[in-house]
Amino acid sequence: MTIARALFQLLVFPGLLFAVPASWLMVWLERKTAARLQNRLGPPFLQPFFDFVKLLAKRSLPRPRGQAMLLTALPVLAVASTLGALALLPVVPSAGGFSGDLILLVALLELPPLCAVLAGFATRSLYGELGATREAVLSIAYSLPFLAALFALATAADSVSLSALAETPAWLVRAPALIALAICLPVKLRVNPFSVANAEQEIYAGSTTEFEGIRLALWELAHGLEWVVLTGLWATLAFPVVTTWPVHVAVFLVISFALVLGIATVAAATARLKLLQTARVYWSWGLGIGLLAMVVAMIAP
């Protein structure tokens, strides 16, 4: 991958210029779908954008210098790592990539949850610390099936390159791996039935309860970007057909937004599970399907 190509993917598509509007659109679509399924009107089309601008205009509370710097650096790091993960997605078949970019992608995807855990404890708030503790437990639970599914695809492709993963593995491996990844999406996006880390009725906003102003705006942006990168990752792995780039990009967009609708529908139709129940789901069903994909990848010719 050339420097020009890397900058284009980071700053234009599927990076900054595409991802920020797409994140607001996905957040609106998720909220609107849930509202309509519950017989509510839901937010107007531009509401996520208005919320972001409103938070930017609010003044941050005075804090000790060290704590203020930390509380600002954590959401900035979460946004930057998510944009970096987006730039690695092989949305355009000829985008290239580099050997080992899968490992970098996994590291970048794990940074926002880690930042959220640190943020909860850095605020010294009871609700923030409780949300951070739940976030940490859930990260351990869903990381096992998530990594198992990616490892199965890497084993079948005999490569740790995202482009190879998107094109090589047969459907005997790809199908259970995609199911395992799909099971992980709701908890990574903090929606029902796995929204225990930010349960409003119990702990307000979880680890971000004590954030305000531009810091909270950055956390909201990071959450929206997580929608884009996680649905985008699933979309690139679900459509392995190598074709012209306009067709591939169009299918990528269709699958991504269809996945948002599916996740929103499940979230609106289910109640929140308890922390232990959520962990059991991922340590049994999620990990089981991920291990099945690994076994098939190892024994399949």
The 10s digit of each residue's pLDDT in 219-261 is 999 999 999 999 999 999 998 776 677 888 899 999 999 999 9
The percent helix, strand, coil of the chain (3-state, each to 5) is 75, 0, 25
**pLDDT given at position 169:** 78
| Backbone φ, ψ for residue 96 (5° rounding) | 90, -105
Regions of the chain where pLDDT drops below 70: 1, 93-97, 199-205, 242-243, 301
Distance between CA atoms of residues 284 and 33, nearest Å = 30
Angle between helices 171-188 and 245-269 (to 10 degrees): 50
The helix or strand, by DSSP H or E, that contains position 244, with its residue range, turns out to be none
- Classify residue 123 by its DSSP letter: T
**pLDDT given at position 113:** 92
pTM over 0.85: yes
Secondary structure (DSSP) of 249-275: HHHHHHHHHHHHHHHHHHHHHSPPPPH
| Half-sphere exposure in the Cβ direction for 108 (13 Å, CA) | 23
Secondary structure (DSSP) of 121-133: HHTT-HHHHHHHH
Distance between CA atoms of residues 24 and 74, nearest Å = 21
Angle at the Cα of 294 from the Cα atoms of 293 and 296, rounded to 5 degrees:
65
The 10s digit of each residue's pLDDT in 58-70 is 988 888 888 899 9
Cβ proximity of 119 and 207 under 8 Å = yes
- Of 161, 118, 162, residue with least CA distance to 139: 118
